[in-house]
Amino acid sequence: MARRYDTVSFLSDYGHADEFVGVVHSVIRSIAPHVVVVDIVHDLAPFDVRAASLALSRAVQYVAPGIVLAVVDPGVGTDRKAIAAEVGEDGEGVLIGPDNGLLAPAAQLSGGVTRAVELTNPDYQLVAPGPTFAGRDVFAPAAAHLANGVPITELGPEIDPFGLRPGLIPLSRTEGDAIVAEVLWVDRYGNCQLNVDPDDVAAFGEVVGVRVGDAARRSARRVDTFGDLSTGQVGLLVDSYGLVAVTVDRASAAEILHLEAGSELRLEAVD
| Of 4, 8, 20, 93, the one binding a copy of itself by CB under 8 A | 20
Residue among 7 and 114 whose Cβ is closer to a copy of itself: 7
Residue 195 Cα to chain centre, angstroms: 14
| Partners of residue 267 on adjacent β-strands | 179, 210
| Of 160, 202, 227, 231, the one binding a copy of itself by CB under 8 A | 227
The span from the CA of 161 to the CA of 207, in Å, is 45
Is residue 55 close enough to count as binding a copy of itself by CB under 8 A? yes
- Which amino acid would we find at residue 107? A
Is residue 7 close enough to count as binding a copy of itself by CB under 8 A? yes
Is residue 232 close enough to count as binding a copy of itself by CB under 8 A? no
Binding to a copy of itself (CB under 8 A): which residues in 133-152? 133, 136-137
Is residue 111 close enough to count as binding a copy of itself by CB under 8 A? no
Q: What's the full length of the chain, in residues?
A: 271
What's the closest the beta carbon of residue 23 comes to a copy of itself, in angstroms? 5
* Count of residues interacting with a copy of itself (CB under 8 A): 68
The span from the CA of 113 to the CA of 85, in Å, is 6
Binding mask 198-217 for a copy of itself (x = CB under 8 A): --------------------
235: phi then psi, degrees, rounded to nearest 5: -130, 160
Part in contact with a copy of itself (CB under 8 A); list of ranges 148-156, 162-170, 175-183, 220-228: 220-228
Half-sphere exposure for 239 (CA within 13 Å, toward CB): 23
Binding mask 61-80 for a copy of itself (x = CB under 8 A): -xxxx--------xxxxxx-
User: Which among 204, 7, 157 is positioned nearest to 94, based on CA atoms?
Assistant: 7
For the CA atoms of 145, 148, 151, 152, what is the dihedral angle to 10 degrees? 40
Part in contact with a copy of itself (CB under 8 A); list of ranges 86-94, 162-170, 173-181, 231-239: 231-239
The span from the CA of 58 to the CA of 241, in Å, is 7
What's the closest the beta carbon of residue 105 comes to a copy of itself, in angstroms? 14
Residue among 104 and 144 whose Cβ is closer to a copy of itself: 144
DSSP for 29-86 reads HHH-TTPEEEEEE--SPTT-HHHHHHHHHHHHTTSPSSEEEEE--TTTTSSPPEEEEE
The span from the CA of 83 to the CA of 117, in Å, is 6
Q: Which positions lie near a copy of itself, rule CB under 8 A? A: 6-7, 9, 11, 13-23, 25-27, 29-30, 33, 36, 38-44, 46-47, 55, 58-59, 62-65, 74-79, 128-133, 136-137, 185, 187-189, 191, 224-227, 237-242, 250
